[in-house]
Structure 1
Amino acid sequence: MKKFLLALTLAVCFQNGFAQEITLDKIYSGYYRGKGIAGISSMKNGEDYLVIEPNGIAKYSYKTSQKEGNIVDGQFSSYEFSDDESKILLLKESQPIYRHSFLGKFDIKDLKSGKIISLNEGKPVQEPRFSPDGTKIAFIVDNNIFYQDLDNGKIVQVTEHGVKNKVLNGLADWVYEEEFGHARLYEWTKNSNAIVFIKSVETDVPEIYIPIYGKSLYPQEMRYKYPKAGEKNSVVSAHIYLLEGEKKTKVNLDNFKNYYIPNVIQTAKPDEIVLITSERTQNASDILKVNIKTGSVQKLFTETDEKWIDTDNVTLEFLEDNSFLWGSERDGNRHLYWYDPNGKLKKQVTKGNWEVIDYYGYDPKSKDIYIQTTEKGSINKVVSKINIESGKSQLISNTEGNNSANFSKNYHYFIENTSTSAKPNTYTLKDGNGKIIKELQNNNDQLQKLKADNFVEKEFITIPNEAGDQMNAWVLKPKNFDPNKKYPLFMFQYSGPGSQQVSNSWDNGNTLWFNHLVQKGYIVACVDGRGTGYKGAKFKKATYMNLGKYEIEDQISAAKWFGNQPYIDKTRIGMFGWSFGGYMTSLAMTKGADIFKAGIAVAPVTNWRYYDSVYTERFLRTPQENPDGYDKNSPTEYADLLKGKFLLIHGTADDNVHFQNSMEFSEALIQNKKQFEFMAYPDKNHGIYGGQTRPQLYQKMTDFLLQNL
Structure 2
Amino acid sequence: MRKIIISAFALFFHLVSFSQNFTIEETVTGSRKYAPENLLFSQWKKNENAIVYVSKDFQSLLERNDSDNWKEHTLASTSELSKNLQAAIPNETFELRFFPYNFNWETKEVISFDVDGKSNKYFVHYNLKNKKVIHSVATPLTANEPAVSKNSDVAWLEDNNIKITRQDGSSISVTNDSNKGIVNGSSYVHRQEFGIHKGMWWNENGTKLAYYRKDETMVGDYPIINWNEREAVNNNIKYPMAGMKSEEVTLQVFDLKTQNTVQIQTGEPKEQYLTMVSWHPNGKSIFIGVLNREQNHLRFNQYNAQTGALIKTLFEEKSLTWVEPQHTIIFVPNDPEQFIYQTDNNGYNQMYLYSISGKLIKDLGFKDVIVQEFLGFSSDNKSVYYTGITNQGLDRQLFNVVLKSGKTTQLTSDSGTHLAAVSSDGKYILDTFSNTETPNKIEILNTKTKKETVLVNAQNPFTGKIDLPKTELVTLTSADGKTPLNGRILYPANFDPTRKYPVMIYVYGGSHAQLIKNKWLAGAAFFDYYMAQQGYVVFSLDNRGSEARGKHFCDVNHRQLGINEMADQLKGVEFLKSKTFVDSDRIGVFGWSFGGFMTTSLLTTYPELFKTGVAGGPVIDWKYYEVMYGERYMDTPQENPEGYEKASLLNKATNLKARLLVIHGAQDPVVVQQNSMNFIEACIKAGKQVDYFLYPNHEHNVRGTDRIHMYAKIADYFNTFLK
Same fold (TM over 0.5): yes
User: Where do 1:210-609 residues align within 5 Å?
Assistant: 210-214=224-228, 216-254=229-267, 259-297=272-310, 298-311=312-325, 313-314=326-327, 316-320=329-333, 321-322=335-336, 323-363=338-378, 365=380, 367-432=382-447, 435=450, 437-441=452-456, 443-444=458-459, 446-449=461-464, 452-478=466-492, 480-507=494-521, 511-609=525-623
CA distance in 2, matches of 1:21, 1:434: 45
Cα distance change of structure 1 residues 270 and 49 upon mapping to structure 2, 3 Å threshold: farther
Q: Counterpart in 1 of 2:113?
A: 90
- Report deviation, 1:296: 3.3
Contact 2:469 2:529 in 1 (8 A): yes
Cα distance change of structure 1 residues 48 and 143 upon mapping to structure 2, 3 Å threshold: farther
Aligned pair count? 692
1:667 to 681, 704, 710: 681
Q: Counterpart in 2 of 1:23?
A: 23
The alignment status of 1:143 with 2:148, answered yes or no, reads no
1:679 to 689, 693, 702: 693
Q: Secondary structure at the match of 1:338?
A: strand
Contact 2:372 2:387 in 1 (8 A): yes
- Report deviation, 1:198: 1.9
Cα distance change of structure 1 residues 520 and 80 upon mapping to structure 2, 3 Å threshold: closer
Give the AA of the match of 2:53.
V
Cα distance change of structure 1 residues 89 and 176 upon mapping to structure 2, 3 Å threshold: farther
Q: Counterpart in 1 of 2:92?
A: none
Q: Counterpart in 1 of 2:174?
A: 158
- Report deviation, 1:449: 4.8
420-429 or 568-577: bigger deviation: 420-429
Q: Secondary structure at the match of 1:576?
A: strand
Contact 1:26 1:32 in 2 (8 A): no
Contact 2:370 2:389 in 1 (8 A): yes
5+ long unaligned stretches in structure 1: 95-102
Q: Secondary structure at the match of 2:393?
A: coil
- Report deviation, 1:542: 0.6
- Report deviation, 1:616: 0.7
Q: Give the fraction of aligned pairs with identical amino acids, expressed as a percent.
A: 26
Give the AA of the match of 1:44.
K
CA distance in 2, matches of 1:271, 1:406: 32
Q: Counterpart in 1 of 2:93?
A: none
CA distance in 2, matches of 1:511, 1:6: 40
CA distance in 2, matches of 1:289, 1:576: 47
After superposition, give the CA deviation of every residue in 1:153-186 in whole Å (9 maximum; x if it has no partner).
Answer: 111222221643x111221336433x24544222
Q: CA RMSD in A?
A: 2.9
- Report deviation, 1:10: 4.2
After superposition, give the CA deviation of every residue in 1:563-601 in whole Å (9 maximum; x if it has no partner).
Answer: 133332211111111111111000111101111111111
CA distance in 2, matches of 1:243, 1:60: 39
1:60 to 37, 55, 63: 63
Q: Secondary structure at the match of 1:561?
A: helix
Contact 1:140 1:170 in 2 (8 A): yes
Cα distance change of structure 1 residues 438 and 657 upon mapping to structure 2, 3 Å threshold: farther
- Report deviation, 1:192: 1.9
- Report deviation, 1:251: 1.6
Give the AA of the match of 1:144.
N
Q: Counterpart in 2 of 1:698?
A: 711
Q: Counterpart in 2 of 1:45?
A: 47
Cα distance change of structure 1 residues 42 and 121 upon mapping to structure 2, 3 Å threshold: same
Contact 1:104 1:126 in 2 (8 A): no
CA distance in 2, matches of 1:568, 1:458: 15
Q: Counterpart in 1 of 2:85?
A: none
Give the AA of the match of 1:672.
A
CA distance in 2, matches of 1:50, 1:157: 38
Q: Counterpart in 2 of 1:97?
A: none
The alignment status of 1:619 with 2:637, answered yes or no, reads no
After superposition, give the CA deviation of every residue in 1:402-456 in whole Å (9 maximum; x if it has no partner).
Answer: 2222333333334323222343344433344694654444542524256x42442
CA distance in 2, matches of 1:69, 1:582: 48
- Report deviation, 1:231: 2.0
CA distance in 2, matches of 1:104, 1:509: 40
5+ long unaligned stretches in structure 2: 83-95
Contact 2:436 2:522 in 1 (8 A): no
Contact 1:185 1:263 in 2 (8 A): no
500-509 or 592-601: bigger deviation: 500-509
Give the AA of the match of 1:32.
Y
The TM-score with structure 2 as length reference comes to: 0.88
Q: Counterpart in 2 of 1:98?
A: none
Give the AA of the match of 2:174.
V
Cα distance change of structure 1 residues 217 and 247 upon mapping to structure 2, 3 Å threshold: closer
CA distance in 2, matches of 1:110, 1:588: 56
Contact 1:173 1:200 in 2 (8 A): no
- Report deviation, 1:533: 2.7
Q: Secondary structure at the match of 2:650?
A: helix
Contact 1:354 1:535 in 2 (8 A): no
Contact 1:462 1:472 in 2 (8 A): yes
679-688 or 382-391: bigger deviation: 382-391
- Report deviation, 1:5: 5.3
Q: Secondary structure at the match of 1:657?
A: coil
409-418 or 528-537: bigger deviation: 409-418
Cα distance change of structure 1 residues 630 and 195 upon mapping to structure 2, 3 Å threshold: same
Give the AA of the match of 1:60.
E
Cα distance change of structure 1 residues 59 and 9 upon mapping to structure 2, 3 Å threshold: closer
579-588 or 378-387: bigger deviation: 378-387
CA distance in 2, matches of 1:445, 1:558: 30
Q: Counterpart in 1 of 2:34?
A: 32
Q: Counterpart in 1 of 2:216?
A: 202
Contact 2:349 2:371 in 1 (8 A): yes
Contact 2:493 2:535 in 1 (8 A): no
Q: Counterpart in 2 of 1:13?
A: 12
CA distance in 1, matches of 2:566, 2:448: 44
After superposition, give the CA deviation of every residue in 1:590-642 in whole Å (9 maximum; x if it has no partner).
Answer: 10111111111111111111111111111111112112222211222200001
Contact 2:379 2:425 in 1 (8 A): no
CA distance in 2, matches of 1:672, 1:20: 45
After superposition, give the CA deviation of every residue in 1:487-512 in whole Å (9 maximum; x if it has no partner).
Answer: 22221111002431121123598532
Cα distance change of structure 1 residues 648 and 238 upon mapping to structure 2, 3 Å threshold: same
359-368 or 33-42: bigger deviation: 33-42
The alignment status of 1:127 with 2:141, answered yes or no, reads no
Cα distance change of structure 1 residues 84 and 361 upon mapping to structure 2, 3 Å threshold: same
615-624 or 154-163: bigger deviation: 154-163
Contact 1:603 1:657 in 2 (8 A): yes
Contact 2:478 2:544 in 1 (8 A): no
Contact 1:257 1:277 in 2 (8 A): no
Give the AA of the match of 2:61.
A
Cα distance change of structure 1 residues 8 and 562 upon mapping to structure 2, 3 Å threshold: same
After superposition, give the CA deviation of every residue in 1:521-568 in whole Å (9 maximum; x if it has no partner).
Answer: 221111111212333322221100111111112212321332133332
CA distance in 2, matches of 1:566, 1:469: 26
1:69 to 61, 68, 75: 75
CA distance in 2, matches of 1:558, 1:162: 54
After superposition, give the CA deviation of every residue in 1:678-707 in whole Å (9 maximum; x if it has no partner).
Answer: 22112112220223x122211221121122
Contact 2:297 2:319 in 1 (8 A): yes
Cα distance change of structure 1 residues 510 and 600 upon mapping to structure 2, 3 Å threshold: farther
Q: Secondary structure at the match of 1:640?
A: helix
CA distance in 1, matches of 2:641, 2:213: 32
Cα distance change of structure 1 residues 115 and 22 upon mapping to structure 2, 3 Å threshold: closer
